[in-house]
Chains A and B, each alone.
Chain A
Amino acid sequence: MTLIPKSRFLGGAEIAAVLVFVAAFAVPAITKSVLIYSILNQALVGVVAAQSVWIMLRMNLLSFASPAFMAIGGYTVAIAGQYEITDVFAMTAAAFLVPALVAIPLGALVLRLRGTYFVLVTFVLSQIMQLLLFETPGLTGGSNGISGIPPATIFGTELATNRQVVLFACGIALFATIITACLTRFFRQHFAAIEENEILAESLGLVVWRYKALGFVVAAGIAGLAGYSLVTMLLTAHPSSFDSGTAVDFIAYSIIGGRSSILGPIVGTALMVYATNLFGTHGQYAQGLYGVLILVVVLALRGGIVGTVSTLLRKARGA
């Protein structure tokens, strides 16, 4: 890992990541298969949530709070939809900003806790969110959720067909990737320093809490975008979509794909979503597969799939 940044804003991996999503826009033009649209849509939602987890992993912090912030983003859009506010640009901003704002006081509480405490508390946050959803039926529809959300509109046109929803998801994923890429690239050294040794970094003058807070707030916003995408795909905001167990899935995508590169969550999500769809009626084995893959990656393929591939490439080049 070189300490001399080649570019403050975009490195090779980041550009590749952005290009992946630009390319994704082409898929609806190439195929009409509803199955491909469905898997792609699931992957596009998952990758944004995985990026939310990944941002925190850059600082060696594992957050289980992604479903909670996804819920905030998703329900914000659903509630706005009930007042006929569906414009895509306004809702994207809302889906990012509302969870980010909520993350500020939460972060102040939670980021004081180091490492493992942080993990446990974010786990508890997801459980609290489920409870809050059930206990506020007037706002969130309680256990029934909010169904029949009007489709997103862009410049007045409704995004109602399967094709249009996939394109919408591509747009959200692209936007989220750009934000994630800029954040982690711009603050690459700071995050890396915190990841390596937080106390040492602090003693060297880094104001650690600022970067943790920034990461946590942006990660919350990204998760909110994932919530928006999910709710648009289903046309429903339902508590079962934001179950605390889904955090495990997003963490698995990030870890298996590879922690050290922004391409990691992308590769991990694509692979795992595809694999889960393959399992079909034996869905219970999917969790077992995640478990085995996590064990393999952590023990043998340090750096996940992307990390291993890039190490092999480097060796092949003789670097």
Chain B
Amino acid sequence: MEQFLQATIIGVSLGTQYALLALGFTLIFGILGVVNFSHGGFYMLGGYVAYACVAHAGLPYPLAVLVAILATGALGWVFELLLIERLVDDHLATLMLTLGLYLVMSTAMLEIFGPLSMDFRFPVTGALRAGPIYAPLENLVVLGVCLIAILGLWLILFRTDLGRALRALADDRSVAMAQGLRPKILFPAAFALATGLAGLTGALVTPILSLSPGVADPVLATSFLTVILGGLGSLGGAALAAFIVGIVEAYSSVYFGGSIGALVLFVLVLLLLVFRPQGLLGREIRGA
């Protein structure tokens, strides 16, 4: 029973982290139609920027996280504006562009920081304990920040003009443009929002786990899996799927062990796709 409770606690904290990542990824796809191969790269960049602020500039951690969000958001904005914008209708081309960006980013981080893990610690230590069951305080802090971020994202998208504009562009771009919405400003904003979220997650989670150039790849794989499950383009689906992935990963790893656990997750996702190709809450994919 204790194992079950512990696994649940772990699953929920995994779920919130995955949710932030999946939301950013699906936001870019839903609004721009771009599959962002550099998503893991922005997570890693967020971690490194926060680390550099703390270790080299001596900034306090919360400020470092803020700088990380701004840095990753800014890079995303610039990248979208200068590069993706030219080819935004060609989905394969934009995918390749983000892939190219990721390769360049990860080589740059490797060059600057080296291949080994950094000494990057989360400022809050310790855990809440009830017998053998524990909830690390750092996870609770991250849980809190993630929930606030998700709430903030929801507010932006559903309660502001910017958000309404983004959603309109996602629904039908030509009509939205006919209505006067300018994608030249809105697309970079959407991209920046998503990469900023990835950077936030990186700045928060890498001190809890580890920070090295190798952390980007698993993040991408998890984001892919989560949005496939949730349905590309659906924010609700992404959030729901993130929690499902987190909880399934926690339970299957605890009860079946590390290798089988991963297989269980993949098999579940594949099975779902057989019966429901658009994912849990996905819409029918737009045609070419």
Given A116-B95, A199-B287, A299-B86, A294-B100 contact (CB < 8 Å)? yes
Given A123-B221, A299-B86, A287-B92 contact (CB < 8 Å)? no
Chain B residues lying within 8 Å of A288, measured Cβ to Cβ, are 103-104, 107-108
Is the beta-carbon distance between A127 and B270 smaller than 8 angstroms?
no
Chain A 106-130, CB within 8 Å of chain B: the 1/0 string?
0001001111110111011001100
Residues in A283-310 with C-beta less than 8 Å from chain B = 284-285, 287-288, 290-295, 298-299
CA distance A298 to B99 in the complex (A): 11
Is the beta-carbon distance between A131 and B263 smaller than 8 angstroms?
yes
Nearest CB of A to B251, in Å: 18
Q: Does A248 contact B (CB under 8 A)?
A: yes
Chain A residues lying within 8 Å of B103, measured Cβ to Cβ, are 248, 287-288, 290-292, 294
Nearest CB of A to B234, in Å: 13
Given A199-B288, A299-B83, A124-B224 contact (CB < 8 Å)? yes
CA distance A199 to B104 in the complex (A): 35
Is the beta-carbon distance between B288 and A287 smaller than 8 angstroms?
no
Chain A residues lying within 8 Å of B86, measured Cβ to Cβ, are 299
Chain B residues lying within 8 Å of A144, measured Cβ to Cβ, are none
Partner of B273, one of A113, A196, A287, A294: A113
Chain A residues lying within 8 Å of B105, measured Cβ to Cβ, are 291
Per DSSP, are chain B's interface residues mostly helix, strand or loop, or mixed?
A: helix
Nearest CB of A to B254, in Å: 18
CA distance A26 to B87 in the complex (A): 43
Is the beta-carbon distance between B107 and A114 smaller than 8 angstroms?
no
Is the beta-carbon distance between A245 and B217 smaller than 8 angstroms?
yes
Chain B residues lying within 8 Å of A117, measured Cβ to Cβ, are 228, 232, 277, 285
Q: Does A60 contact B (CB under 8 A)?
A: yes
Partner of B228, one of A62, A120, A292: A120
Chain B residues lying within 8 Å of A245, measured Cβ to Cβ, are 217
CA distance A248 to B38 in the complex (A): 13
Is the beta-carbon distance between B35 and A298 smaller than 8 angstroms?
no
Is the beta-carbon distance between B285 and A115 smaller than 8 angstroms?
yes
Query: Number of B interface residues, CB 8 Å?
Result: 44
Chain A residues lying within 8 Å of B104, measured Cβ to Cβ, are 288, 291-292, 295
Nearest CB of A to B288, in Å: 5
Is the beta-carbon distance between B29 and A116 smaller than 8 angstroms?
yes
Given A131-B259, A198-B287, A248-B99, A113-B277 contact (CB < 8 Å)? yes
Is the beta-carbon distance between B224 and A120 smaller than 8 angstroms?
yes
Chain B 26-53, CB within 8 Å of chain A: the 1/0 string?
0001000101000000000000000000
Nearest CB of A to B175, in Å: 19
Is the beta-carbon distance between B266 and A109 smaller than 8 angstroms?
no
By size class, the interface of chain A is 35 or more
CA distance A117 to B231 in the complex (A): 9
Is the beta-carbon distance between B93 and A298 smaller than 8 angstroms?
yes
Chain B residues lying within 8 Å of A295, measured Cβ to Cβ, are 83, 97, 100-101, 104
Given A117-B277, A128-B266, A62-B95 contact (CB < 8 Å)? yes
Q: Does A197 contact B (CB under 8 A)?
A: yes
Chain B residues lying within 8 Å of A119, measured Cβ to Cβ, are 35, 95
Q: Does A255 contact B (CB under 8 A)?
A: yes
**Residue ID in chain B nearest A60 by CB atoms:** B92
Q: Does A186 contact B (CB under 8 A)?
A: no
Chain B 230-271, CB within 8 Å of chain A: the 1/0 string?
001000000000000000000000000001101100100110
Chain A residues close to B by CB (< 8 Å): 57, 60, 62, 109, 112-117, 119-121, 123-124, 127-128, 131-132, 134-135, 196-200, 245, 248, 251, 255, 284-285, 287-288, 290-295, 298-299
Can you identify 11 A-B contacts, CB atoms within 8 angstroms?
Answer: A60-B92, A121-B270, A123-B224, A124-B224, A124-B269, A135-B263, A198-B287, A287-B107, A288-B104, A292-B100, A298-B100
Chain B residues close to A by CB (< 8 Å): 29, 33, 35, 83, 86-87, 91-93, 95-97, 99-108, 110-111, 217, 221, 224-225, 227-228, 232, 259-260, 262-263, 266, 269-270, 273-274, 277, 285, 287-288
What are the 7 A-B residue pairs with the smallest beta carbon separation, nearest first? Answer: A291-B103, A288-B107, A294-B100, A291-B104, A295-B100, A199-B287, A291-B100
